[in-house]
Every structure is written in structure tokens, then in C-alpha cells.
Amino acid sequence: MAKKKTKWVCQNCGYESPAYLGKCPECSSWGTLIEETDETASASSIKKQNKVTTSKSEPTLLNDITADKSERFSSGYEEFDRVLGGGFVKGSLILTAGEPGIGKSTLILQSCGYLSSKGKKILYVSAEESEKQLKIRAERLNIHADNLFILSETCLENIFETVKDLKPDFLVIDSIQAIYSQEITSSSGSVSQVRECCYSLMNLAKYMNITTVIIGHVTKDGTIAGPKILEHMVDAVICFEGDRYREYRILRSTKNRFGSTNEVGLFNMGEHGLKEVKNPGEIFIAERSEDTAPGSIIVVANEGNRPLLVEIQALVSQTFYPAPRRVSTGIEYNRVLKIIAVLEKRIGLNLSKHDIYVNVVGGIDIDDSAADLGVALAIMTSFRDISIDHKTAVFGEIGLTGEIRSCTQAEIRIKEAYKLGFEKIIIPKGNAPSNLNLKNLKIVCVSRLIEAVSSALQQEKSQA
């Protein structure tokens, strides 16, 4: 009997090597290469068994193809539909990923309950929970669906047989890392298993026109577990973000063939599941008191295409260590270091003997560069023990020379601050509005960081 050929596969990125390597040359991960049997010889049998029989396709002129609105249907959540680009598309394959306990399965199960009430036939395949466990969860979420079928199965071939018999309109696989194909010798969750199972599910979704949602895990560094080709095969990648110990969750798409990747959805996790947040502009500043302490500032940031007002706090205290500490939560660490360097060089603050802590209230991450000005003013006011009026908001990107650069969607940000009752907003000079008449809102346009600092100090002096 011939010896089976083996290969070493990185479980993080899918890199293949004929021999063991301690460090993956592709993703630089240590100890991630696992020995697997080379399945090249049996690949044709796998595809033959899982392939959906179809007739030969013929080329069609683009202008002759019709696509009506019936190809889309709602998920039951406006926030979810926004991220999807208007709802689910028939025959699409969607990957939903997030940390354990963040609410991935809860969101999809609640959407299944809504779709079932609209007459859709749903098949929810749970490879990690039993049918009774899912029943308990559904009762907690108040889901009572007549067309929702639950299948507790991990074998891909058995799942295919059930799908062909049931012919559902909507299919959920929870999760892709827990199912396996009998034709692959490696364990479930390996690169080979994930790749082949996803490929088979992609063919199933396209040829049977079944909307399929795959729930996936993430690694400890926040990336989607499995080979990178997994993200290439699916039509959309939806990521669920947030701190599972806090109530708010952000849903965003990193890939979407049927819509924009600039949209985000906001949810509130409660005892009975996820609820949409209708007023995302004010949720993170609701608990802010009028008597603000030094080091607190409101920033009008953008999450996708929608403005979001967040409170940024900074604490500057004398250090007792040879090297001062720099801690950042919710803002990229290197961006905070850059802002500190600009404050020292351009404003003249001596922060070399002080620990600096920066935090975004609410447990969310802000990637918008317009938060730079807020971080700088929060650090400056904490250092000088000055409090800025609670009716003041800011936004603007800071350059290395101390200039304040313009930001996108400035008028939308200004209108959002005005709608929530702010009386003063400090913005980049390049974003100065031309035909924007908002009563009781003072718009201060600045071109340098020193001007923004002076504006905040003048306000404090006038109040004193």
C-alpha cells in the first residue's frame, strides 16, 4: 500500500509547505503549521459528490439580464438591511464573523424568526448546539416560528441531503469551523475542511438560489479564522464588533458585492436579544453631565456614512516610572502617540514626565481620523486642568506640522451636532460651510492646532 502524501498547512492563513516550519513565512505566525493529508487526488471525488447538477450555462448579454427588487428581501432589521445594502439577495453567500458571545447567532436567529413569519422556509444548521439548546434560546428571544427548521448536524454530506429534500429559501450554517466533509481526512476547522466546505456551500447557494449565511469564528487577534480564500469566495463579509461586556454592538461590512462597505448598523444587546438603536448620534453622550471635568470632549466621528457623537476622555497624571505610560482604549495607539508628539512640539506641552490615558466612552473603536482634534484637546485640558463647556463639539484631523486638515461629510457632522443641542463646534477651516444657517450654533473654523487650543482657552476665560 502506497504511503499517503502529506503536507504542512498553516491554520492561520492557509500557506502550504512540504516540510514542517516553526514560523509561517506568509503570515509570520509561530506554531500554526499542522500536518494534513494531501487531498489533491481525491479532490475530484469531493466536488463530484457535493456538486449540484446543472445544465451548461450560455453567455448572456448584460443588457438582456433583468434584476428586479424581488431579488432582495428584508432581514427584519433596518440596521442590518443598511449594512447588507438593502437586504438579503437571493442566492447570495454571506459570512458573519465576530468574537465569542458578541451576538452573531442571536442576530441571525432573530432574523430567521422574522423571515419565517413572512412565509420563508428556513433551515438553521447548528453544528455547535443541540436542537433543545436552540429551542431554549429561541424561547428567550420570543421566537415562535412555523417555518423554521432546526438541524443539529456536523457532516456536510448529510446537510446537503437535507437541503435537497427540504429546499429552503434561507440556509444558516453555524458555524463553518464546526462542520466537516467525510472525504477530507483532516479535522473540522482545519484549512482544508473550511476551504472545501465553503466551496461546496457556494455552489449550493448559487445553483439552488438559496440565500446562505455562514457564521464564522475569529482568531485571538481579531481576524476571521480560516484561509483568506474564505473571504474571497463569499459575496459579503459582515463583522460584529463591540465589547461583549457592554450593551452596544456595531455591525459593519468589510466586503459587499451588492452594496456599500461604508455603512454600519448599531444594536443594543439586552435580556431578550438584540434591538436596533434608532438614535445612534446621542447614545454615547446620554450619561454625560453638564458639569464636565477636565479631559472630556465630544467628537463628531463618522462610522460608515453616518455621524456618531462620542465622548473622548483623557487623564494626564505625573508618572512614577522611568518611562511614562501611554494607554489608549478605542483609539489606535500609534495615532495617540503621534498626537502627543504634535502637542509637545507645536503647543509646547511637556508631557515627558506624565502618564497619559485616553479612552472612548461606550466601549467602541473609532477609526475616523477626525477624532484627532478631540484627542488633542482632551489631553491638553487634562494637563492644564481646564474643562470645556459641555455644549461644545469638535472634529478635525491633525497633521504632523500642527495643521488641522479637512474631513469628509462636514455638513452632516455639523447638522448632527446642531440637532443634539450643541451651541459651539470647532471644525477645520477647509470645511467652513458656505450656505449653512443654523441658529444658536457658533461655528469656529481653525487651520492650526494652536488656534483650536486658544479657542478652548478663551471660552474657559469668558466663563470664569
> What would the mean pLDDT of 370-376 be, rounded to a whole number?
96
Domain limits, the chain: 1-38, 70-276, 283-463
Instruction: Please state, as a whole number, how many other Cβ atoms lie within 10 Å of the Cβ of residue 86.
Output: 15
pLDDT higher than 70, residue 46: no
What is the per-residue pLDDT across 133-151, written as a single tens digit (0 to 9) for each?
999 999 999 998 889 999 9
HEC profile of 52-70: CCCCCCCCCCHHHCCCCHH
The DSSP secondary-structure symbol of 9 reads E
pTM of the model: 0.79
C-alpha cell at 166: 427540504
Q: How many Å apart are CA 215 and CA 232, to the nearest integer?
A: 15
Q: Nearest 10 degrees: CA dihedral of 250, 255, 257, 262? A: 50
C-alpha cell at 324: 511614562
**Residue 306: φ, ψ to 5°:** -125, 140
Task: List, in sequence order, every residue forming a beta bridge with 119; answer none if it has no partner.
Answer: none
CB 252 within 8 A of CB 304: yes
Amino acid at 440: N
With cell 417555518, the residue in question is 147
> What would the mean pLDDT of 336-351 be, rounded to a whole number?
95
Peptide bond into 92 cis (omega under 30): no
> What would the mean pLDDT of 65-79 be, rounded to a whole number?
83
Q: What dotted CATH number matches 283-463?
A: 3.30.230.10
Is 68 exposed, middle or buried, given 0-12, 13-18 or 19+ CB atoms closer than 10 A? exposed
Q: How many Å apart are CA 371 and CA 310, to the nearest integer?
A: 9
Instruction: Please state, as a whole number, how many other Cβ atoms lie within 10 Å of the Cβ of residue 219.
Output: 14
C-alpha cell at 139: 424561547
Task: Say what the pLDDT of residue 84 is.
Answer: 94
Q: How many Å apart are CA 178 and CA 159, to the nearest integer?
A: 13
User: Could you give the C-alpha distances from 100 to 97, 103, 105, 360, in angstroms and in order?
Assistant: 9, 8, 10, 22
What is the per-residue pLDDT across 378-389, written as a single tens digit (0 to 9) for each?
999 999 999 998
The contacts of residue 333 (CB under 8 Å, 6+ apart) are 326
| Residue 199: band (very low, low, confident or very high) from pLDDT cuts 50, 70, 90 | very high
pLDDT higher than 50, residue 183: yes
What is the second-level CATH architecture of the domain 70-276? 3-Layer(aba) Sandwich (3.40)
What is the per-residue pLDDT across 231-286, written as a single tens digit (0 to 9) for each?
889 999 999 887 767 778 889 899 999 988 878 888 988 888 999 987 777 777 87
C-alpha cell at 401: 506640522
CB 198 within 8 A of CB 174: no
> What would the mean pLDDT of 206-234 be, rounded to a whole number?
85
Lowest mean pLDDT among 44-53, 218-227, 317-326: 44-53
C-alpha cell at 256: 459587499
